[in-house]
Structure 1
Amino acid sequence: MQRGRKTGRKPGYKHDKETKRKISQTKSGQPFTDDHKDNMRQAKLGTSRSEEERQSISTGRAYIDLESKCLHRFLEMRSEYPGQEEFFDSNRAALLIAMRGLKSETELRDIRRYIETLTIEEIPQAYLEYQYDSSSFYAHEAAMVDLIDAATFLRKALRTKDENALLH
């Protein structure tokens, strides 16, 4: 037996006159008015944002928190690989984009586990299967590919311990 909120309208809710008119018009097969069609089209497309609205979103608290969280993850990963600072500095933008796609620390841990346990040839296919099979993973494919490329490079560089690996 399911508990919680029942589906349907709340008790006491009644349609207003305009809504009742539109419902009866639709049921009788009458065509929509041009205004109604425009309103439906706009509702499907969403509202376009002005420059001021976009600016306020990019300077908003939630966006700044996301950026600081991404930077924190980036610095944390950078500290895990000492001696590879030049690599992280040159690929900073791609890594920050990858960090932005992650929704939780669990996803970051899962990605590291996949990168560290699979061979280089298996990573892309396993990543795609994991992306589409897992309900906890929503990162963007392009950003993940950048992250996997970065991790692959780091694994090669750490394995060889060769200073020339940073130049390639």
Structure 2
Amino acid sequence: MVELNRIRELVERGDVTELARLLVQAYPQGLVGERDALVTLFMKAGLPHAEAVRWASELEKEGHAHHLPGARPRWVFTGKPVSFRRLASLVKSEWGGYVGDADGATEEALEFFERRLGVDHNTALEIYRGLEAAGYVSVAFQEGPDHARDRVLFEFPEVFLKQV
């Protein structure tokens, strides 16, 4: 669990990046809950409601906090800014035809994130873990004309696609 005093300290310093890193460490599988869960966390840290809303919005605007709605809703945090709108678009348009150099389905997905989103391995792993925890990722065996292997399948619920 995150140290609530540390959250308040980082907010008082105005340090969005360090706050994002703290949330990544505290919630590697994401903060479970609906959109209000992040505001609630900030309020538990002692922020007034309006300030908690502002900070949740700021983290989201800066690309460090991403709400994943659906059957297992949660906030996913990334230490570096990421556009989940771009991620969804890339997965839809390019993932089906992507063949990476990595061994294994998960490693191939991480490689895709790194190459196509321009993120480092740790950020790719943060994205993958969050998508997996939210139920947006599964691994299935696929056979094609040139391959037979395990492959990551991304399934973004309609409610997510409407929000990005």
Return the TM-score normalized by structure 1: 0.32
Structure whose alpha-carbon radius of gyration is higher:
1
Choose between structure 1 and 2: higher helix proportion. 1
